[in-house]
Amino acid sequence: MNQSYTLPKNKFDQFFEILKSDAQVFAPVKVSDKSYSFKQVTSHHQIAFEALRTILPPKKFFYPPVETIITYDKDGAVEHNEAIEYKVIFGVHPCDLAGLGIMDTIFAAGPADSHYLQRRAACLIVGLSCMPDKHCFCQSMGTDCAESGYDLFLTDIDDDYLLEARTAAGQAMLERVVKLISKATDSDQKRASDFWQKRSKAFTNGFECLNLRSLMEQEADNKIWKELGDRCLSCGNCTPVCPTCYCFDLVDIASLDGETGQRQRQWDSCQLTGFATVGGDFNFRPTPVDRLKFWYQHKLHGFEDPYGFKTCVGCGRCTESCPSGIDDIVNVVKGLQIEREAN
């Protein structure tokens, strides 16, 4: 087990100053009555420690909604290299850490996506514990405890934080803040353990995460899908907010001079009408039912790929952002499970 340390909350301001001494720090900031966003912060007062889910997950730092990957002129094309600034991403909760772990696996698989990996390598991730609200169901998805994807993790234990390093970069940061922290005592460890137990009992949302693949296969023709499809607006809101939705389009942006331009990668969504269309306008997933079911399959049991993991981390963003209230993963799964038991 890694050595844990205790950081008194009244020294957090100094901790923050060290974090930002040679890097831009990004953390959840309150941007409206009910919403939070990861933004650059220059003072610890700007950090919304109470934030649960930000509008967009931290994937946006490594995989931006739009990025130039290639530029060209009349003679040829070259890779577009932008200067990557080292960043600290503070306040990432366990569900989002699990999401980053999934994104890392996808983009690192050969041929590796250099654009994502270079940004990912130039950051320090500081995780932060949280208490679930009515939309959180990370416990069901098994992503409620941070196991990887972070360099440092802070567990809120009343007047202190319990601080743990996971990586060499996290360890190096601990050495920089050594004057602010002390080795965690048994009592600190007990407080942290009590916190996680209390948190485990605080979940009000969730389902029994068993046999989701066979459930989805057996209930593939369930009337629930038609009901959801009839209400789906195909707006695609559920995918940019998802910590693990990584589908993209590659598009050319030509300059007006007709000779130069750039090739961009832009986030795409499997929920948009034309996502699975091929030349000649043949659409392999023409209805909202086809598209929704596809998304649910990917989230609940993953694909038949070598990774074999579920790609839902239970953050609840899709539920909160769906204008039709149909990306309610918990209630959809529960509904299918009830039907299964009844049959």
Partner 1 sequence: MQKLETPYLSQKATLISCVEMAKDNFLFEFEENKGTLSSCMPGQFVELWLPGVGEAPISVCSGKVDNKLQLLVRKVGRVTSALFDLKPGAWVGLRGPYGHGFPVDIYKGKDVCMIAGGLGVAPLRSLWQYLLEHRDDYGKLILIYGMRHCEEILFHDEINALMELPDIEVYLAAEDANVCLLPHIPMEAGRVTDLLDHLDISPDMQFAVCGPPVMYRFVVDNLAHKNVKDKNIWLSLERHMKCGFGKCGHCYIGGHFTCKEGPVFDLPALKTMSEVIEVGTGKQ
Nearer Cβ to partner 1, position 83 or 258? 258
Residue 165's contacts (CB-CB under 8 Å, 6 or more residues apart) are 2, 151, 152, 171, 173, 174
Choose, by CB under 8 A, the member of 196, 252, 323, 338 that binds partner 1: 252
Q: Is the sign of the CA dihedral 195, 201, 205, 209 positive or negative?
A: positive
d(CA 215, CA 211): 6
Give yes or no for residue 214 binding partner 1 (CB under 8 A). no
Which of the stretches 91-99, 108-116, 147-155, 326-334 binds partner 1 when contact is defined by CB under 8 A?
A: 108-116
Q: How far apart are the first and last CA of the chain?
A: 47
Region 11-70 residues binding partner 1, contact defined as CB under 8 A: 69-70
Give yes or no for residue 118 binding partner 1 (CB under 8 A). yes
Give yes or no for residue 122 binding partner 1 (CB under 8 A). no
Structural contact between residues 248 and 240, judged by C-beta atoms closer than 8 angstroms: no
Choose, by CB under 8 A, the member of 44, 53, 93, 115 that binds partner 1: 115
Nearer Cβ to partner 1, position 221 or 341? 221
Choose, by CB under 8 A, the member of 202, 233, 254, 338 that binds partner 1: 254
- Identify the three-state secondary structure at position 256: coil
Count residues near partner 1 (CB under 8 A).
53
Choose, by CB under 8 A, the member of 142, 286, 323, 325 that binds partner 1: 286
d(CA 35, CA 310): 27
Query: To the nearest whole angstrom, how small is the minimum distance from the Cβ of residue 297 to partner 1?
Result: 7
| Chain position carrying tokens 């009839």 | 230
Q: Give CA angle at 343 (223, 316), nearest 5°.
A: 55
Choose, by CB under 8 A, the member of 113, 156, 160, 327 that binds partner 1: 113
Structural contact between residues 323 and 237, judged by C-beta atoms closer than 8 angstroms: yes
Give yes or no for residue 294 binding partner 1 (CB under 8 A). yes
- Identify the three-state secondary structure at position 318: helix
Question: Where does the chain show beta strands of DSSP type E?
Answer: 4-8, 24-30, 36-41, 66-73, 76-79, 87-92, 123-128, 152-157, 160-165, 182-183, 248-254, 261-267, 277-278, 282-283
Q: Residue 153: how many CB atoms within 10 A of its CB?
A: 25
Region 296-315 residues binding partner 1, contact defined as CB under 8 A: 297-298, 302-305
Choose, by CB under 8 A, the member of 17, 147, 208, 249 that binds partner 1: 249
Query: To the nearest whole angstrom, how small is the minimum distance from the Cβ of residue 303 to partner 1?
Result: 4
Q: x/- string (CB under 8 A) for partner 1, residues 255-274?
A: ---x--x-x-x--x-x----
Region 59-98 residues binding partner 1, contact defined as CB under 8 A: 69-70, 72, 76-79
Give yes or no for residue 243 binding partner 1 (CB under 8 A). no
Query: To the nearest whole angstrom, how small is the minimum distance from the Cβ of residue 307 to partner 1?
Result: 10
Give yes or no for residue 106 binding partner 1 (CB under 8 A). yes
Write out the two tokens for 224. 């629930």
In 3-state terms the chain splits into helix, strand, coil percentages (rounded to 5) of 35, 20, 45
Q: Which residues bind partner 1 (CB under 8 A)?
A: 69-70, 72, 76-79, 106-107, 109-115, 117-118, 121, 217, 220, 246-252, 254, 258, 261, 263, 265, 268, 270, 275-280, 282, 284-286, 290, 294, 297-298, 302-305
